[in-house]
Structure 1
Amino acid sequence: MAQVIMLLQWCQELQKVIMLNPWLCLFLLLPLLFLLRVAKREKLNLPPSPPKLPMIGNLHQLGRLPHRSLRALSAKYGPLMLLHFGKTPTLIVSSAEVAREVMKTHDVAFSGRPQTRAADVFFYGCVDVAFCPYGEYWRQAKKICVLEILSQKRVQAFQFVREEEVTNMVEKVRLSCLNGAAVDLSDTFLTVSNNIISRSTLGRVYVNEGSDENFGGLSRKVIDLLASFCFKDTFHFLGWMDTLTGLVAGLKNTSRALHDFLDKVIEEHESLMNNDESHMKDMVDILLDLQKNGALGIDLTRENIKAILMVSLSLSWPLFCDCV
């Protein structure tokens, strides 16, 4: 009983000290928290990692040519190393053997995808295939892409689209040569790729509709924003800086225009399906049929359809990167 009374008295005295000297308690707690964090980190079996700096991590070691810097670091720390880009831990794989282990043997363990601020805005909280977390929805969305969009039967069905667009390209180049005009090959190939994917996915080529708010113009804006530097993705505590740089406003405006554009496309297809069932089905029609029939194990909403469509449309985005 006496020990209990002494313990209560000690707790009361400690409470007085805390009330009178909160900064002293904080000073004493900081070393304890640091030791606990170090002890927790030591339990993890992490890959080799070069020394990092506070806040920026290993960003200072990338240099102006990141691929060469990463090659030099991998030669020192091995084919699998851990780098920190700001507060984001990143595994760097630089050999075929380790890549096989990551992508094939342990594919489920490495199936997580970074959900960036831009991807979260453009893809409705990452409900597409590229940025969606691994799970039942991702498996069903992948199934749609593999069996319905990228199947051999579907690719062959749109062969005439590719032939027509390539024929038109050759004819334009021929006429330019006859007239002695210069030919911008980058723009020419970009237009062909643009038209093929637009016709196969959306049913027709969307150009000169609402000024820059067409498939080509919106794709160019999206790829620019996806490639833009985002403070929140690298330094979480500096996420408010994205508002000052205009990134947040750009994401919201472009996302709104893109989703309005896709809503218009889907409404056109819904109207056409109700009035004419004999037309050739494109990707939008396939997704609307799957939504109507409920053949999948998931609820396919309008947002899901638009996010999956953006994956198909994104096949031409690497060309935009080369041409911008």
Structure 2
Amino acid sequence: MSLWYIIAAFVFFSSIIIVRNTRTTKKNLPPGPPRLPIVGNLHQLGSKPHRSMFKLSEKYGPLMSLKFGSVSTVVASTPEIVKEVLKTFDAECCSRPYMTYPARLTYNLKDLGFSPYSKYWREVRKMTVVELYTAKRVQSFQLTRKEEVASLVDFIKQATSLEKPVNLNNKLMKLSGSVICRVVFGVNLKGSKLENTYEEVIQGTMEVVGSFAAADYFPVIGRIIDRITGLHSKCEKIFKAMDAFFDQSIKHHLEDESIKDDIIALLLKMERREIGLGEFQLTRDHTKGILFNILNAGVDTSAQVMTWVMTYLIANPRVMKKVQAEVRQVIKNKDDIKEEVIERLEYMKMVIKETFRILPLVPLLIPREASKNLKIGGYDIPKKTWIHVNIWAIHRNPNVWKDPETFIPERFMDRQIDYKGLNFELLPFGSGRRMCPGIDMGMTLVHLTLINLLYRFDWRLPEGMEVEDIDLEESYGLVCPKKVPLELIPVHTQWT
């Protein structure tokens, strides 16, 4: 008799499994390309996943299914679908999947950018908005920005007499790093533990956190693969360099109690509970995790924006001439350039928007994870699915932008489009709960620097180089830098 019970139980549970599998197969998942066993679609990503995904989406549609190892993924590629992800279902799509190397660099996800959606994340987000990135705090760092930009201008003035190219990638990265070190860490970049390695560390970080790491897709052998490829050791090297810099900066604050106005001082007050963070107690690792976000986003994003703007201006002489004429007309022979003039430079704003469009700095937003079963664009998105938002695809879509491969700032003249997350045709900083909170701080430095570069100097290509020779290719990372450094020769003008 017991044998029949066993057989009946086996049949019963087998029926449940069959029903479940049948239900799974009946899900209306988004279309996608065929997959290989084990690796899925990873082999189709190539060296620039944003471009590869764009090409695939042209065939398989604006919401596309991919499989990366053991991870089910969908890719959103049009303004309409992205609006559903980042606005309509923002609360259900704003968490993060666990990613091995971002977790390591952020002290086990104690940051804002990679932390999953939780009470802790909401408190840190509120704190950054209320305490770190207010208009008042951005304004309070005006003197620091002015001094560091003046130092860059002095260097370029000296370079004009030599008639040798200036590596703008390097100089703009150093400028951005110097500002962030002072306003966030209360130290000068020169003499710090990052002085000789900051560019390598910052760009290396963006490569690591933007990588499609084997450890995330192959739970058993992934870490071994990453050790073979060198990704693991690269991550550890970056972590140790940043951790030493954080320790140096924090020690500096603890030894000098007169430092009260920068961001580390604010975070240390939270550690001591002088400023509240809801029910949470900040530890030193929390402080370092938050600093990781500010350092990397603050330095790399601003520097790359300025580099790409100058790249596209030198590649488009008509636009360069027009934007310089506007800047010089507005400033009118004044040597002391104030940040207030930014609002009057309408064409320069168009130039920056067009740079964001044609080269989105973060072509693939940090992956999101569906916190429940959803229906997006008419398709079923199961819980735990990773969601990639392909900003590159939106910005290069010919159905959204006329002549998307051509640099035309005037396209914004008749379109009331901004880059602060409300217009889904232009999303360089994302949108919704996960949108970058430090836009105003970064963009104020970008505007001030570009005004000085365009007002005080003319620029020309190195000897023997023509406009057609300018390399516009990007390297891949979470933030995309220019693959070939931008080297230009500054020229004395009547404005210098």
Is the TM-score greater than 0.5? Answer: yes
Pair 1:102–1:225, CA change in 2 (3 A)? closer
For residues 25-61 of structure 1, the C-alpha deviation after alignment (integer angstroms, 9 at most, x for no partner) is xxxxxx9999577335225443233332211212344
Whether the aligned pair in 1 keeps the contact of 2:187 and 2:249 (CA below 8 Å) is: no
Quick check: 1:314 aligned with 2:473?
no
Distance 2:206 2:58 in 1: 33
Count residues in correspondence. Answer: 299
Q: Which letter does structure 2 place at the counterpart of 1:265?
A: S
Determine if the alignment matches structure 1 residue 117 to structure 2 residue 109. no
Match of 2:169? Answer: 186
Greater C-alpha Rg = 1
Tell me the residue number matched to 2:114.
131
The counterpart of 1:304, out of the listed 279, 283, 286, is 286
Corresponding position of 1:281:
261
Q: Distance in 1 between matches of 2:62 and 2:162?
A: 54
Instruction: After TM superposition, list the pairs within 5 Å mapping 1:144-159 onto structure 2.
Output: 144-159=127-142
Partner of 2:247: 263
Higher relative contact order (CA 8 A, sep 6+): 2
Q: Is the 8 A contact 2:270 2:277 kept in 1?
A: yes
Q: 1:119-268 counterparts in 2 under 5 A?
A: 119-209=102-192, 215-228=198-211, 230-239=213-222, 240-268=224-252
| Aligned equivalents of 2:281, 2:48: Cα separation in 1 | 45
Q: Distance in 1 between matches of 2:80 and 2:207?
A: 34
CA drift at 1:308: 0.5
In structure 1, what is the Cα distance between the partners aligned to 2:16 and 2:47? Answer: 37
Q: CA deviation at 1:272?
A: 1.4
Kept after mapping to 1: 8 A contact 2:124/2:277: no
Note the aligned Cα RMSD (angstroms): 3.0
Identity of aligned residues (%): 33
Q: Where does residue 23 of structure 1 map in the other structure?
A: none
User: What letter matches 1:183 in structure 2?
Assistant: V
After superposition, give the CA deviation of every residue in 1:97-153 in whole Å (9 maximum; x if it has no partner).
111111111101111213221111111111100000001100111112111111101
2:41 aligned partner = 58
Are the equivalent residues in 1 in contact too, given 2:105–2:239 (CA < 8 A)?
yes
Q: Does 1:84 align with 2:67?
A: yes
Q: Contact (CA 8 Å) 1:81, 1:92: kept in 2 or not? A: yes
Equivalent-residue separation in structure 2 for 1:66 and 1:258 (angstroms): 27
Q: What is the letter of the counterpart of residue 247 of structure 2?
A: D
Cα shift at 1:222: 2.7
Measured in 2, the distance between the counterparts of 1:40 and 1:50 equals: 22
Provide the rounded CA distance (Å) in 2 between the counterparts of 1:223 and 1:72: 24
Pick closer, same or farther for the CA change 1:189–1:94 going to 2, 3 Å: same
Give the whole-Å Cα distance in 2 for the aligned partners of 1:196 and 1:79.
40
Q: Summarize deviations over 1:203-231 as a string: whole Å, max 9, x none.
A: 12233445877644533443343345522
C-alpha distance in 1 between matches for 2:148 and 2:213: 37
Partner of residue 2, structure 2: 8
TM-score normalised over the length of structure 1: 0.81
Instruction: Say whether the 8 Å CA contact 2:193–2:248 is kept in structure 1.
Output: no
- Between 1:46-55 and 1:183-192, the stretch displaced more is 46-55
AA of the residue aligned to 2:183: S
Q: Distance in 1 between matches of 2:3 and 2:70?
A: 44
Consecutive unaligned residues in structure 2, runs of 5 or more:
8-13, 305-478, 484-496
The separation in 1 between residues aligned to 2:120 and 2:295, in whole angstroms, is 20
Partner of 1:19: none
Whole-Å Cα distance in 2 between the matches of residues 300 and 211 of structure 1?
A: 25
Which residue of the partner structure matches residue 73 of structure 1?
56
More deviation, 158-167/32-41: 32-41
What amino acid sits opposite 1:189 in the alignment? Answer: L
Q: Distance in 2 between matches of 1:212 and 1:168?
A: 16
The C-alpha deviation readout for 1:274-314, integer Å capped at 9, x for no partner, is xx2xx451010111122221511111111111110111111
Aligned residue for 1:56, secondary structure, equals coil
What is the aligned partner in structure 1 of residue 435 from structure 2? none
Q: Which shifted more, 209-218 or 297-306?
A: 209-218
Deviates more, 1:66-75 or 1:238-247: 66-75
Partners of 2:44 and 2:230 lie apart in 1 by 28
Compare the two structures and name the one with the higher helix fraction. 1
Which of the residues 295, 317, 320 maps onto 2:276?
295
* Aligned amino acid, residue 35 of structure 2: K
Cα distance 1:118–1:303, how it changes in 2: closer, same or farther (>3 A)? Answer: same
Secondary structure at 1:284 match in 2: helix
CA gap 1:287/1:214 in 2 versus in 1, 3 angstroms: farther
Residues 48 and 82, structure 1, Cα contact 8 Å, conserved in 2: yes
- Cα separation, 2, equivalents of 1:33 and 1:236: 28
Take 2:25 and 2:212, find their aligned partners in 1: how far apart are those partners? 32
State which drifts further: 304-313 or 217-226: 217-226
The farther-off stretch of 202-211 and 190-199 is 202-211
Give deviations 1:164-192, integer Å, cap 9, x for gaps: 11111111000111233331111111111
